[in-house]
């Protein structure tokens, strides 16, 4: 049986599948303007590469913090309908939204880290007051209003998100992996939440891990991983990794900082 060391690969040697261009877009967090701009840039590249197959992998965290999570989900639903080569992975905030819709937890991820802005994008302002005042009737009303406001298609979208995908020498997920655990045995919590154990691992992995989740000032390219979360919702910079065979580049689009 092959060991981790024998099957490991360095970023410089990593390649995408022959004839397929790969794009991995970092955390969007309610910024449809930046997401649309990145898609326009990618589409422009693909127009100049006729005959090439492609995949656009979105690395999760579409909702919360930014001003228009609803429009981000609308954009992604339409992109997937237009071409299923647009792939959407789950982030912890996307799962957190689903959990809040199911249980209305007042002290969970959604309410404490940007869910109020998500609710406002659906026309629900009640949760802003409920968050300020704490629990109780205001929270129950706000939760009920949001459940009513979120379209069935958005619930279906959030529930359909997968946790990881692999192409060529690259493994894509939201947060990272647990070192020492085979890629096909990684658990959900690690794939959408892990930080230190993954970030601090010095060795190579069976594939180069492409992820977001932990904001960095600019895309962080290392021997064993690439982080493309550049805090788009606040910085106004959305980043992506582009792979064409052995050629790897970081793409960025700029918008208004909040």
Q: Indicate if the alpha-carbon torsion angle 6, 194, 73, 157 is positive or negative.
A: positive
pLDDT digit string (tens) for 9-55?
A: 999 999 999 999 999 999 999 999 999 999 999 999 999 887 779 99
Contact 8, 204 (CB under 8 A): yes
Helix (H, G, I), strand (E, B) or coil at 239: strand
Percent of the chain with pLDDT over 90: 90
Contact 57, 87 (CB under 8 A): yes
Q: Cα angle vertex 143, ends 150, 127, to 5°? A: 100
The listed CATH number (3.40.50.880, 1.20.58.220, 1.10.10.10, 3.60.21.10) that belongs to domain 11-91+161-254: 3.60.21.10
Is this model's pTM higher than 0.85 or not? yes
Based on C-alpha coordinates, what's the Rg of the chain? 19
Residue among 126, 97, 181 nearest 173 (CA) = 181
CA distances in angstroms from 223 to 10, 164, 199, 247, listed in the order given: 5, 20, 12, 15
232 pLDDT more than 70:
yes
Per-residue model confidence (pLDDT) at position 6 = 55
For the chain, domain boundaries: 11-91+161-254
Tokens of 48: 């100049």
- 164-167 β-sheet, strand order: 164-167, 170-173, 208-211, 225-227, 220-221
Beta-strand pair 208-211/225-227: parallel
Per-residue model confidence (pLDDT) at position 1 = 33
Identify how many contiguous H helices and E strands the chain contains and give both numbers: 11, 10
């Amino acid at each position: 049986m092959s060991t981790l060391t024998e099957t490991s690969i360095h970023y410089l040697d990593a390649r995408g599948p022959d004839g397929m261009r790969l794009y991995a877009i970092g955390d969007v967090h309610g910024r449809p303007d930046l997401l649309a701009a990145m898609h326009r840039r990618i589409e422009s590249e693909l127009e100049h590469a006729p005959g090439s197959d492609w995949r656009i992998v979105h690395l999760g965290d579409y909702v919360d913090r930014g001003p228009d999570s609803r429009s981000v989900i609308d954009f992604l639903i339409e992109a997937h309908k237009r071409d299923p080569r647009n792939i959407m992975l789950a982030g912890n905030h996307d799962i957190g939204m689903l959990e809040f819709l199911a249980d209305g937890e007042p002290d969970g991820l959604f309410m404490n880290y940007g869910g109020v802005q998500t609710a406002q994008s659906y026309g629900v302002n009640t949760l802003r007051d409920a968050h300020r005042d704490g629990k109780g009737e205001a929270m129950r009303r706000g939760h009920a209003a949001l459940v009513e406001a979120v379209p069935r298609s958005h619930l279906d979208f959030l529930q359909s998100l997968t946790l990881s995908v692999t192409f060529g020498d690259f493994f894509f997920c939201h947060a990272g992996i647990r070192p020492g655990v085979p890629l096909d045995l990684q658990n959900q919590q690690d794939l959408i939440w892990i930080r230190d154990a993954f970030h601090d691992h010095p060795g190579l992995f069976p594939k180069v891990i492409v992820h977001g989740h932990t904001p960095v000032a600019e895309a962080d390219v290392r021997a064993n991983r690439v982080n493309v979360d550049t805090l788009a919702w606040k910085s106004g910079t959305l980043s992506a990794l582009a792979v064409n065979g052995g050629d790897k580049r970081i793409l960025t689009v700029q918008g208004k900082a909040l």
